Amino acid sequence: MNGKMTGISIDGEKMKGKMDSRRKRADMKWNRRAIVMMGFLFGMADSVWIGSVLASFVYILANGSNTAVGLVEAAEGATILLVAIPIGYFADKGSKSKVVIFGGVVLLVAIAVSSFVVWEAAEDENEKPKWSIWVMGATMCLWGIASAVSNGPAQALLADSVEEGDRTTWYTFLFVAYIGGSILGPTVALIIFKRFGDHWTLQELRNVFLAGMALEGVASVTMFVLRDIPKKPKESSKEKEANEASEISKTCCYGLITKKAIPVVLFLSSVVSALGSGMTVKFFPLYFQNNLKLDPSGVQVVYILVPVAMSILSGLSTFLAAHIGRVFCMVWFNLMGIGCLVAMSLLSDKLPQLPLCAIYIIRTGLMNATYPLNESILMDTVPETQRARWKSLESVAQFGWCGSAVIGGLVSDKHGYERTFIITAGIQALATLILIPLIFIVPMEEKKRKVSREYSDDETTALIGNEENAINS
């Protein structure tokens, strides 16, 4: 009798194990698709208003002050700096999906407050409410919290839902989905400008801004549907010793940089690069508006072409990385992008609009194309239990992005946008140099895990097809 009961117990445990495995595979599949959809929807929503519209709206609201634009952007970055690490810690220690839901609630509040401020501020062009610029800055703090969540725990869930060796592929899917949405966003803005007015006025900018808020509301739904993935069992002592031995096997800089240091090096490079980027990224729309004299619809055309370039160059970088290595590809693309930025600064008063816009499009594509490579390296080298924290640290890097916008605004007001381009190029060159030691540590080829696949090739093929359809639409 006891033998029969033992057999039944063992069979029951096997059945439970199979059911848990199936549930896990289903949750992983759900998360992968939901997060890729999240990337697409937020790409479309963000690109409607965050690019050219927000900067121009604040610029006009502040009576032509680049410094004010930088301060408003810095409010978001400062908030990310304060909340990103605690958010990542709680997500790793508790439930990532619940933290993402919290971010979704904050996002909905941010949408409501932003819509109110923009509506009231644009009612009378001649009598702008004095409180509006301050409330706009405070509202950006809410966007900072939502951004820290969507770029931290949400993307860490994607890493949890993908096996090692396939993360470059899935982060490429996410990247392509985001930039696919980023093509549609400026297209929506272009149509609204052409339909309701194509001038740099608060009321005409308000139309596009509110359309962006509506799309943000639609995108926020994806933050309420993600599922936690059970953590893998801890490694045995033998496996741990083997992994530690492999980590020590490759070093550079006289042993100072090992595999364990890879995330630190990536983070340091990201922070330095963000410090440079923040001085110019938020001011490119104003450069097009004030220096190149483009109208709103012309700027939207530029921002439609930027994600197209990013998509093409991202595919090229993934292909080249398989032959020359992920880090070497990142370094090479960054150097070419920096060269384009230097050319924009030196040739700004010598070339007409079209060539300068083309250089900008190529430069932005090059600097952003290697995102999937960077993410795959990071997620391959950090422990599963710390992924949300490391993703949140990436959000901290955005403080440099937004924080240095204040300096960029001051420099732009005193010396012009071209001076900020040169300073940015120098800082980004330093960030690229920081990556060079990783060429000797990170494997040329992405390692595949020797375990059963958590998803079928059919699913991957179907998703590739869906992404191609999204790009072509």
Residue with tokens 């992404």: 467
List of residues 6+ apart from 347 with CB closer than 8 A: 355, 356, 359
Q: Pick the closest to residue 334 from 358, 317, 356 (CA basis).
A: 317
Dihedral-angle region of residue 15 (phi above 0 means left; psi in -120 to 50 means alpha; beta otherwise): alpha
**Is 406:71 a contact under the CB 8 Å cutoff?**
yes
**Over the stretch 371-383, which tens digit does the pLDDT of each residue have?**
888 888 887 788 7
Distances, alpha carbon 195 to alpha carbons 82, 112, 213, 297, 302, in Å = 41, 25, 18, 11, 19
- Please tell me the distance from the alpha carbon of residue 180 to that of residue 160, in angstroms, as a whole number: 24
**Is 62:291 a contact under the CB 8 Å cutoff?**
no
Q: Which two tokens stand for residue 472?
A: 């072509």
Residue with tokens 């890493």: 159
- Please tell me the distance from the alpha carbon of residue 379 to that of residue 349, in angstroms, as a whole number: 43
**E strand map for 298-349:** none
Report which secondary-structure segment, H or E, holds 261: none
Distances, alpha carbon 81 to alpha carbons 72, 154, 205, 403, in Å = 15, 17, 29, 10
List of residues 6+ apart from 467 with CB closer than 8 A: 36, 173, 176, 177, 180
pTM over 0.85: no
Low-confidence ranges of the chain (pLDDT < 70): 1-20, 164-165, 232-258, 392, 394-403, 444-473
